[in-house]
Amino acid sequence: MAKYILRRLGFMALTMLLVSIAIFTISELAPGDVARHILGQFATPEQVELMRNQMGLNQPVYVRYVDWLVGNDWRLNGLVGKPLKQYKATTFGDLNWWAAEPDGTLKQWKVKKGVGLVEVRVTPGGEPEEIPFDGWQVDENGEEVFWGVDTASHVVLWRRSSTEQKVGPASAGRAMTEASGERYYPIRKGLLRGDPGISQRTNKPVAPTLARRLRNSFTLAGIAFLIIMPLALLFGILAGLQEGSRMDRVISVLSLITTSVPEFASGVFLILVFAFWLKLLPGAAVYASDIAPWKDPKLLILPVLTLTLVEIGYVTRMTRASMIEVMNAPYIRTAYLKGLPYWRIVFKHAVRNALMAPITVIMLHVNWLVGGIVVVESVFGYPGLGLYLLDSALFKDINAIEAGAMVMVALAVGTQLIADILYTFLNPRIRYT
Amino acid sequence: MTMDAQTASDRKRNMRRLSPTELKRPKESLRDRMSIILRSRVAIIGLVIVLFWVWVAIFAPVISVHDPLAQDATAINQGPSAQYLLGTDALGRDVLARLAYGSRTILMLAPLSVLAAVIVGTFLGLVGGYFGGLVDEIVMRILDAIMAFPTILLYLIIIAAIGPSAINVVIAITFVGAPGVARLVRSLALDIRVRDYIRAAELRGESPWYIMFFEILPNARGPLIIDSMLRVGYAIFAIGTLGFLGLGLPPPTPDWGGMISAARKYIWTNPLSVLWPALAISSLVVGLNLFADGLREESTRYQ
């Protein structure tokens, strides 16, 4: 069993690797690029080129993939000549990359208008201070150049002649605080070392946003799940007790109808009824950025209800099918012939066996649940993982897409594994080796 | 995205019940098949709804007085009126005309994408199931990897890569649907290939391709047809979802999913213009599923 789980985990890692490579490749082949998205319609080709340079998009795709996967600070060390370290200089600032001196001081460099290159220096615990810069080195062409770390976590090649004249086109976009360097390499820690990078759409680190979005989606799906399961199992068992009875037909048709109505349509119906005509509930679920969704439960009602409507029919039908199968099994007939009371046959013999299939199959259903969540979140503007992924995909924000996709694939493959393991416990006849 | 999962489970039951008897059963006449449909009230209701939309699609130019793309600046976001029976949208376009022409779009794209998925899936399933061994292993592992993806993520990635357009929607749905078809066909092929008439064909010296497409495929058609019918409902569901998420047809084309997402913004000023397309797509998917499900129930009940 341990061997089997290990093999499955290996398969999961392999799947995630393949998926991440596929996404990188596809986004490379796809038309349009994120630099253009960030700068907007009216940016000049020069500005776009500058942006691409800053974002490291001019490097070959395999270099960017490896950087994304395992990071590149260990590779870029050599250019700067000092080890690179992450450090948070001010309380509200971001975690940035700095070049570390042997004595523990950390350094960054930036271009100041009218001054040229200056050095920003900080000792751990202290306040950052700016001091004049005099570290120019002479390259093979006799020009004065310098490799350093800028304030936005790039390793940059500066050339003295250009830093003193040129200051970046600050109006072109929020990320272009400096455009004075000649070459830019964004420093990455790499996904395998726990850093999914910075979202190009929001210009913020992916990890905290993703965690918050994941929490919101789990809240939504979790509440829906708690409502769906008991109801669906109850309806499924009632319908499956007697195939073809009136109760069965009503439940079957109703569950078929609710699963057939797309989430965006049922969401719209619910908004119209409860928000527009009855004016009972808010018609959207828009939260202030950091508020946890359970602190404003009224906003959650309609999204949860939409998700419930779509999913409940599926689970009901699964349970019904399983129940019908069990009720036709020989051991149920035996129980009848032994003269056991009906309720005892149902509860002791039928239901327990009938629940085995739906419980495991529901785990496999996560793939579709995820799809439903994307649509529900999009209908209500609910800040969950699905909406994050959708927005990122439309923006071609590769770091966010990759991170979101990895979470989703891990969830999908992981739940399948759990379902298989669960099944061996529920059904001792199955053994995996 | 629920439909596919549900059909996957139903398919399993289906195959178990259908395949052994289906294969031995003599050919049904058209009349027999019609009587199966007519026996199920649910199937009839479904069929009526579907036929209604087919009728709308065929007679779209007659039904709609206005051009679905024509914008009337004097009538923006209006409720129903004598001039515009179902009202207008945010650009002053006739909702009725857009609904009617939207049914054309969706009723053309959905069967087309299912057909493509069935062709690709059948081919892969037959090759894997008949040849077996390494070929089967490679094909099935790749398909497993595709199926491990959350469906919506696949759509997102594919459409983000190749851009939203009618043909790309078909490609995306084919890509997502084909592995399921391939699995079904493979399991049927595994079952059929050990039968005597396949042995006979092999002894006659028929080529593997002849055996796959003229011996195995015709005998696997029963479950495959019902599976395809359920897939049409799912494809409509998917096309609507893609349209709603902004991954469907590019804007001026009338497309129900896109209409809903556009009208969603004006739900407080013009609630009806979002209601109509939502009702339209719901009724069409419900109709198709009622029909397919009723048909399946009836065809498996009396065996």
What digits encode the pLDDT tens for the residues A281-322?
Answer: 777 767 666 677 777 777 888 889 998 988 888 888 888 888
Q: A366: which chain B residues are within 8 Å (Cβ-Cβ)?
A: 150
Residue B10 belongs to some domain of the structure: no
Q: A257: which chain B residues are within 8 Å (Cβ-Cβ)?
A: 286, 290
Q: A412: which chain B residues are within 8 Å (Cβ-Cβ)?
A: 148-150
Residue B223 belongs to some domain of the structure: yes
What does the pLDDT read at residue B112?
92
Of A15, A260, A390, the CB nearest to B145: A15
Looking at the predicted structure, is the pLDDT value of residue A70 above 80? yes
Pairwise CA distance, residues B28 & B16, whole Å: 20
Predicted TM-score of the model (pTM): 0.79
Determine, for residues B1 and A314 on separate chains, whether the beta-carbon distance falls below 8 Å. no
- Alpha-helical (H) ranges within A328-397 are 330-338, 342-344, 352-354, 356-364, 366-380, 385-395
Determine, for residues B150 and A408 on separate chains, whether the beta-carbon distance falls below 8 Å. yes
Architecture of domain A206-426: Orthogonal Bundle (1.10)
What does the pLDDT read at residue B52?
93
Looking at the predicted structure, is the pLDDT value of residue A25 above 90? no
In the predicted model, what is the mean pLDDT of residues B23-38? 59
CATH of the domain at B146: 1.10.3720.10
CA dihedral B292→B297→B300→B303, nearest 10 degrees, is -140
- Check if the interface score ipTM surpasses 0.95: no
- Name the more confident of A325 and B32: A325
Q: A251: which chain B residues are within 8 Å (Cβ-Cβ)?
A: none
What does the pLDDT read at residue B1?
39
What is the rounded average pLDDT for all residues in chain A? 80
Of B145, B148, B244, the CB nearest to A375: B244
- Alpha-helical (H) ranges within A167-205 are none
- Name the more confident of A105 and A30: A105
Model confidence at A170, pLDDT cuts 50, 70, 90, reads: very low
Of A18, A29, A310, the CB nearest to B2: A310
What is the rounded average pLDDT for all residues in chain B? 79
How many CA atoms lie less than 13 Å away from B157 in the CB half-sphere? 26
Q: Give the closest-approach CA distance of A264 to chain B in angstroms.
A: 7
Looking at the predicted structure, is the pLDDT value of residue A191 above 70? yes
Q: B260: which chain A residues are within 8 Å (Cβ-Cβ)?
A: 264-265, 268
In the predicted model, what is the mean pLDDT of residues A202-230? 86
A358 touches chain B (CB under 8 A): no
What does the pLDDT read at residue B51?
92
Residues B168-224: pLDDT tens digits?
A: 888 888 988 898 889 888 888 888 888 888 888 888 888 888 888 888 888 888 788
A375 touches chain B (CB under 8 A): yes
In the predicted model, what is the mean pLDDT of residues B54-73? 79
| CATH code 1.10.3720.10 region(s) in chain A | 206-426
Residues A379-414: pLDDT tens digits?
A: 888 888 888 888 888 788 888 888 888 888 888 888
Residue B95 belongs to some domain of the structure: yes
Give the structural domain span for B150. Answer: 61-67+84-287
Sheet holding A116-122, edge to edge: A84-87, A96-100, A106-112, A116-122, A129-132
Q: B275: which chain A residues are within 8 Å (Cβ-Cβ)?
A: 268-269, 272
Determine, for residues B275 and A272 on separate chains, whether the beta-carbon distance falls below 8 Å. yes
Phi first, then psi, for residue A90 (nearest 5°) are -120, 160
CA B127 to chain CA centroid, Å, is 24
Q: Give the closest-approach CA distance of B203 to chain A in angstroms.
A: 38
Selected residue of A19, A268, A397, A420 to mutate for chain B interface (largest B Cβ count, 10 A): A268
* Domain count along chain B: 1
Find tokens 């986004």 and name the residue. A27
Neighbours of B124 (CB within 10 A): 22
Q: B274: which chain A residues are within 8 Å (Cβ-Cβ)?
A: 268, 272
Residue B179 belongs to some domain of the structure: yes
**A200 exposed, middle or buried (CB, 10 Å; 0-12, 13-18, 19+)?**
buried
Model confidence at B150, pLDDT cuts 50, 70, 90, reads: confident
Using only C-alpha atoms, chain B has a radius of gyration, in whole angstroms, of 22
A313 touches chain B (CB under 8 A): yes
